[in-house]
A and B are shown apart, each in its own frame.
Chain A
Amino acid sequence: EDQVTQSPEALRLQEGESSSLNCSYTVSGLRGLFWYRQDPGKGPEFLFTLYSAGEEKEKERLKATLTKKESFLHITAPKPEDSATYLCAVQGSGGGADGLTFGKGTHLIIQP
């Protein structure tokens, strides 16, 4: 059974204070690891897909990295508008069934 554990559960930072969110996973054959952002009352918004260890992707102040056991979402000089819940999910190599297994998320608050 695929499993995803995210830490910390919640993180409060000052504006401009860089940090990293962790996503540890176990999966039988990783097809992809996904990061989503979710704002209150909205559906998850796609950020990144990582496919193999060593891969990195960037978007504005966010950078996602992947190893064989975990992924990190690095946030550089965050702004208040980066406040949201960040969800990590994995997709195993289960043939045609490719639903995502999500972690519980990290609730990030950026204070001005």
Chain B
Amino acid sequence: EAGVAQSPRYKIIEKRQSVAFWCNPISGHATLYWYQQILGQGPKLLIQFQNNGVVDDSQLPKDRFSAERLKGVDSTLKIQPAKLEDSAVYLCASRSTGRGSYEQYFGPGTRLTVT
């Protein structure tokens, strides 16, 4: 079974530029999450999707971050404009909605550096 795929793996941009990250979850996983992991910290939830609907975006900085999952499969996370403090690894995770399936499976992440 293929894991969660993310691209690009690395991105370097200047502050005030925009950037987008892509995620393809494990096949059949209806629930998708985006997390932000700053160096030395644990991942922090940004947004959760169930199919193509948003379940929780309470920690998403909506003035600059946006995310979509139009067809209930792939998802895109965008930052516009980027700030220095957005430098982090952006992790995508997915989960089966089968009964008793609560564990989330993570992709390799996209490392963003804002200069």
Contacts and interface: CB of A to CB of B under 8 A. Distances in A.
A77 interface: no
Interface residues of B, number: 26
B102 A49 contact: yes
A54 B1 CA distance: 32
Nearest to A102: B42
B72 interface: no
B55 interface: yes
Contacts of B31: 98
Chain A, interface size: which category?
20 to 34
B43 A100 contact: yes
Contacts of B56: 94, 96-97, 99
Interface stretch (B63-71, B74-82, B106-114): B106-114
B29 to A, nearest CB: 13
Given A4-B42, A44-B91, A87-B42, A100 B104 contact: yes
Nearest to B33: A99
Contacts of B103: 34, 46, 49
Contacts of A36: 106
Nearest to A103: B42
Contacts of A45: 106
Nearest to A34: B103
A89 B109 contact: no
Interface string B28-69: 000101010000111111001010000110100000000000
B22 interface: no
Interface of B: 4, 31, 33, 35, 40-45, 48, 50, 55-56, 58, 91, 93, 95, 102-109
